Amino acid sequence: STDQANFFVALIAVQSLDGFMTRRDEPGTDFASPEDQQWFRKILSQFDAVIMGAETYRAAKAIIRKSLTPDRPKYILTRNPEAFTSESVAGQLIFSNQTPEALLQTLRIQNRNRIALVGGAQTNARFLQANCVTQLWLTLEPVLFGQGTPLAPVEHPIQLKLLSTEQLGPSTLLLKYEILL
């Protein structure tokens, strides 16, 4: 697990009020309010690295590739990094099959201590189950989907402590939680 004094991993997500990050089986977060999208872009600039799964990368590939920068590398977790060899950008877009613990150790060695974990569901669950998440920052949008992709299909309950609430828009809330280990 992580030394929380110097190392910080925030799982950042947007979801419907009934707990889904996507609408049915449609990829992407186009349901996110303009206020959440603006907040998300601004907040990412405060992190040293960004981690996501391959499905999240595929869903937002054009945006991700336009925003590459060496001071905030993006790590894409995939079972098959070789399949993305032609898409990798040295020091900026890295495809990896490391475990959450191993990837965070790599980032710590590189002195990258503020990490944004931005999905998807399987990647979120892997990091939560490995006790590798410090906080959960969750935007709740005023919509019900009925079905879709859950935040993190974890195998055991994870306790959270509410740290703060912020109203991003007329009906959009940002909740910040500490993960209790």
Predicted confidence (pLDDT) per residue in 9-38, tens digit: 999 999 999 999 988 777 677 899 999 999
Residues in the chain: 181
Instruction: Walk along the chain (181 residues) and give the pLDDT tens digit of each residue.
Output: 444 457 999 999 999 999 999 887 776 778 999 999 999 999 999 999 999 999 999 988 988 999 899 999 999 999 999 999 999 999 999 999 999 999 999 999 999 999 999 999 999 999 999 999 999 999 999 999 999 999 999 999 999 999 999 999 999 999 999 999 7
33 vs 52: CA distance, rounded Å:
21
Q: Which residues of 9-45 are buried (b: 16+ CB within 10 A; e: fewer)?
A: bbbbbbbbeeebbbbeeeeebebbbebbeebbeeeee
Of 97, 7, 90, the closest CA to residue 48 belongs to 7
Kindly list the distances between the CA atom of residue 52 and the CA atoms of 5, 64, 147, in Å, as whole numbers in the listed order.
23, 11, 22
